[in-house]
Chains A and B, each alone.
Chain A
Amino acid sequence: MIERLQTCAAVAAIELRDVHKAFGPIKAVNGLDLEVPEGICLGLLGPNGAGKSTTMRLLTSQAIADSGSLRALGYELPREGKRARAEMGVVPQLDNLDVDVSVYDNLSVFARLYRVKDVDAAVDRALGLARLADRKHDAVDELSGGMRRRMLIARGLVHDPKLILLDEPTVGLDPQIRAEVWTLVDALRTEGKTILMSTHYIEEAERLADEVALMTAGAIVARGKPADLVLEHAGRETAEVFGPPDRLAEVRKRAEAAGLPVRATGPAVAIVGSENATDGAVPEDAVVRPASLEDVFVKLTGEELE
């Protein structure tokens, strides 16, 4: 046991090396290298189909890699997957609570699955974290959407895991519930838990993640602290120009001629790194805003996130 703990201290919480996973002709994960040190929250940011959920399933051994090496908490996957899962908590993208059953029963079942010795204490602790202690005996059906989402997180924390996998924790939620979930995740991060959070929301990654890994087509294309990534790949500012299509085409042409990356953002075009623009490359009526992770993502992958 002591030997394993010493080994764990020297290794990352998650270590994936050249991992490949295909579903027929689709390469869901394609040469993925990912290392997550202990104690950080890493945001895995990418569009739908980037391979984020498959990565999560590989870590829980619900998907088996075609090739590559995978370790979680020092355990080799999938061979020691069960032992790894005992020390990780998973919060799924989809609500899969037992809705007719009480909050307490939902959590106590999972406390037993995780072989927690004092089930009642574990449930009370998880309910306290999720601020659901007063709803302990209610059926899940009676909870609001935000409470159910917090309940899902409580279920993933019932055994006080070392590593937490959050798979799109706020997908499909309204802004108020999203803020509730963010508060909860932020508290975990502050507590020093290791978190791997997949998301396709820029704001979520920027607010919660210590580091962000941009994922597309099954591989990481860039990684770093959000501010560093933005500065490195998108500069300080992005200028957005609104107008009729003919004008936008003209603006795009001029900016590209000046060597600036340009992308369409709905009814506008965004000129990335506009602080470096030469005269005439950015029109005077452009709306200048700080550069964002989305600018970085689009610049590096050519894909939009939402």
Chain B
Amino acid sequence: MSQTQIGTRRLEPAAIAGVMSREVANFQTFWKSTIFSSLMEPVIYLLAFGLGLGATLITDVQGLDYVEFVGTGMVATAVIFSSAFPAMFGTFVKHRFQNTYDAILAAPVDVEELVTAEMLWISLRAGAFGFFPLLVTMLFGLDPTWGMLLVPFFGFITALSFAGGGIAVAATVPKIDQFNYVTTLVVTPLFLTAGTFFPIDQLPEWAQVLAQFNPLHQLVVLVRDACFGFEAVDLLRVLGLSILAIVAWRIAVKRMTLCLID
């Protein structure tokens, strides 16, 4: 059987592509329901918050129509929910219940390639899903701009951090119900202080400082700037999110190695 050269370098693209091809094959069996919820969720949020609050209590925020404010902020919600949760639950299930990683690691794939492939797949998907709220918000009146084309990329680099973090958590916790701690103590606070539903300058000063370290908040700012005009400091935001992604990647590789290799 003809095979290409194996084991001559780190992070072999063929190994990463092979692992991702497994994810694609599985995704083909449930893409309809996933895309349905990714499109419907922003619609429901926009109806509830945008039209509900916007029509009664709030008309505009920071000079933006409230529907546009929430709609652009919803990108962050879509990104964290479609990266952190699949990374945590998906990794745990594949490792503990389906023994998928045992099969993959018996092939010429190492843990670093496995984790890299999983993070890339989750983040590519999250980047794409992160664009859906913008599409929905356009139906509610948001004007399209060229800058919006960068939103999937912003979603992708942000999702890498959550994918890496989620995989690291999955490799660490002994029981699946312990994800509740992560959801309550990490995901929910990050989600609520991202500036999706209200501007963070309404928060106490200490919370505003903390929010600057919230990658979701940085994503929200990047998305709004992509829609309404970039600033030079946005490059720093991209750099910061990229560094965080690399740190999360290395932690995920380390934790998964400890978890998968006896």
Contacts and interface: CB of A to CB of B under 8 A. Distances in A.
Nearest to A100: B29
Interface in B1-34: 1-7, 14-15, 17-19, 21-22, 25-26, 28-30
Interface of B: 1-7, 14-15, 17-19, 21-22, 25-26, 28-30, 98-100, 102-110, 260-262
Interface residues of A, number: 40
Contacts of A21: 262
Contact of A96 (B4, B99, B107, B109): B99
A116 B3 contact: yes
Given A82-B7, A85-B107, A114-B3, A62 B260 contact: yes
* Secondary structure of the A contact surface, majority rule: mixed
B124 to A, nearest CB: 17
A113 B2 contact: no
A116 to B, nearest CB: 6
Q: A54, A100, A118: which has the most chain B beta carbons within 10 Å? A: A100
A63 B102 CA distance: 11
Given A92-B99, A115-B108, A63 B26 contact: no
A63 B2 contact: no
B22 A98 contact: yes
Contacts of A223: none
B25 A109 contact: yes
A21 B18 CA distance: 31
A82 B260 contact: no
A96 B25 contact: no
Given A112-B14, A112-B21, A64 B262 contact: yes
A23 B108 contact: no
Interface in A80-104: 80, 82-83, 85-86, 90, 92, 94, 96, 98, 100-102
A82 B104 contact: no
29 contacts: A62-B106, A62-B262, A83-B108, A85-B107, A86-B3, A86-B7, A86-B108, A90-B106, A94-B102, A96-B99, A96-B100, A96-B102, A98-B26, A98-B98, A100-B26, A100-B29, A101-B25, A101-B28, A105-B25, A109-B21, A109-B25, A110-B18, A110-B103, A112-B18, A114-B108, A115-B3, A115-B4, A115-B5, A115-B14
